[in-house]
Amino acid sequence: MSIVLACDLGGSSFRAALVDDTGAIRVQCAIAGPPSRDDRSGASEIEPEAWWSLLVEACAGLAAEAPALFDAVEAVAICGVTRTQIFLDRDGRSLRPAMTWKDTRADACAERLRAALDPVHPESAAINAFHPLARLAWLREREPEAFAALACLLEPKDYLNFRLTGRLASDPVSMARLLAAAAPHEGRDQLAAVGVSGAILPEMLEPWEQVGPVKRGLPVPLDRLAGRPVFCASNDTWAAVVGLGAMREGFAYNISGTTEVLGLVGREPARAEGLLTVDWRGLFQLGGPSQTGADTVSWLLALLGRDTASVGQEIAALLRGRRQPQPLLFLPYLQGERVPYWDPSLRGALVGLNRRHGQTDLAFAVLEGVACLNRTVLERAEAALGGEATEIRFGGGAATNPVWSRIKADLCGRPVVVATSKEPGLTGAAIVAFTGLGRFASLAGAQEALVTVARRFEPDPARKPAYDALFALFRRAEAALAPVSRDLVAAAREGQALAALARHASAAADLHAD
């Protein structure tokens, strides 16, 4: 029996597990956080050292629970959140907090960059507030001292690999956007537009290649792993797709954690409006991350005064209630949106509320709203690739809810398949480690051997007419309300009359207190 240490650095928690060569998770440790520091300016930041502390803490938990298994670890693989930049100086020290996937401060910089960049360059249209090039431009404008000292840009899992091995490296999947910007087009790349060179890029490795052995002298219990190989792995989406067994042509994937990611896997680098096309090392994914998902459900539960520590139980209880004949529409853009709109100024809405609607109606509206967004992305990807998805592999916390799986299958009109592993990111990281160790001849072979299916949801033809009608209304509501969202956000940012409402509310609260 072989054991590997697999880690998944998520948007709201850090998970680590000891996984054997049958794919079974033998011991697991999950730690919440670290919380990001968010504010009204659009900032969302985390100190990189906090992620390192979580890795040490999680490993300490595993070593305490299963000391013999921990000492038997043969390799390490860490996947993690993407669209998050860590800025290092030439000595490998962090220059400032990391800018997370939620940070929208570079929106204005992105707009100026798009106007200034060569419009023919393939990456120009992809520049937005979440793009590393826009964030580099923001750093140059707002924090010139940190920008001047910048020597390397890493993603979170790469930072942990660096702390474990001392080597600065990443993979072409995680760094796809920055690599695309650095690629020359007609003799010019886009990095020069923000005053940097390709030297800020770390060394590129394949996900299954070794970064290096674990260094000696690390904190307890990492010192017990000295000499074990650390494999590069990739971002959490790529790893979870592997862990769901969806890394194959014609399969779609939907990973629902704090936020959702949906895409279609194909052989050709097709392109579609608003979707990311990323080379997944022999295959291409067409799709990408949204800003909505299980966190949207948590928002609803908090709004209703229900227990947000038991999301699965609480939403299941709401869904067992009676639903009113007239459905609600929910636009799930509580934090703006990435794929497919790339607009940080989009906002959520409930459309069609009447006096008889209750908590059950709100719960269904939220789940169906997210599924409508899934369908929008899937339809664009299928049209670009010229064929329907064979099935949608569904994973993450939301996949434990059979009602949501059923809604997604019926609304998208495709079979939804849930894998046995409830932690596809950990399973994917373990598959990388075992492939790197040579236990399997290829990533595809490891996927076939270690991924099993738990449940399959076929779309119900009887519900198709109703969901087609709901989806059409959803798209109409999106188009009608997007300009209103942008105007509301702009009015608040620019200190116009609408921004005064918050001050009036504070004054009213003071009067009540008196």
Give the start-to-end residue ranges of the domains of the chain.
3-234, 248-423+452-514
Q: What pLDDT score was predicted for residue 6?
A: 98
514: pLDDT strictly greater than 80? no
Between helix 402-412 and helix 464-493 the angle, nearest 10°, is 100
Q: What pLDDT score was predicted for residue 1?
A: 86
Dihedral pair phi/psi, residue 58, rounded to 5°: -65, -40
Q: What pLDDT score was predicted for residue 40?
A: 86
Q: What confidence tens digit (pLDDT) does each residue in 426-435 have?
A: 999 999 999 9
Rounded-to-integer distance, Cα 73 and Cα 84, Å: 29
Q: Which two tokens stand for residue 11?
A: 């948007």
Task: Report, as an integer, the average pLDDT of 395-407.
Answer: 93
Does residue 202 have a cis peptide bond before it, meaning omega lies within 30 degrees of 0? no
Per-residue pLDDT band at 257 (split at 50, 70, 90): confident
Per-residue pLDDT band at 263 (split at 50, 70, 90): very high
Task: Report, as an integer, the average pLDDT of 288-305.
Answer: 93
Q: What pLDDT score was predicted for residue 126?
A: 86
- Which homologous superfamily does the CATH classification assign to the domain defined by 248-423+452-514? ATPase, nucleotide binding domain (3.30.420.40)
Number of neighbours of residue 24 by Cβ within 10 angstroms = 15
502: pLDDT strictly greater than 70? no
Instruction: Give the three-state DSSP class for 397.
Output: helix
Q: What pLDDT score was predicted for residue 90?
A: 97
Instruction: Give the three-state DSSP class for 274.
Output: coil
Per-residue pLDDT band at 186 (split at 50, 70, 90): confident
391: pLDDT strictly greater than 80? yes
Task: Report, as an integer, the average pLDDT of 300-314.
Answer: 93
Place of tokens 């020359």: 184
Q: What pLDDT score was predicted for residue 293?
A: 86
Output the average pLDDT for the chain. 94
Task: Report, as an integer, the average pLDDT of 466-489.
Answer: 96
Instruction: Give the three-state DSSP class for 489.
Output: helix
Is it true that 3-234 and 248-423+452-514 share their CATH fold? Answer: yes
Does residue 34 have a cis peptide bond before it, meaning omega lies within 30 degrees of 0? yes
Q: What pLDDT score was predicted for residue 51?
A: 98
Q: What pLDDT score was predicted for residue 498?
A: 67
Q: What pLDDT score was predicted for residue 138?
A: 98
Q: What pLDDT score was predicted for residue 508?
A: 54
One-letter amino acid at 240 equals A
510: pLDDT strictly greater than 80? no
Instruction: Give the right CATH number for 3-234 from 3.40.50.2300, 4.10.910.10, 3.30.420.40, 3.40.50.720.
Output: 3.30.420.40
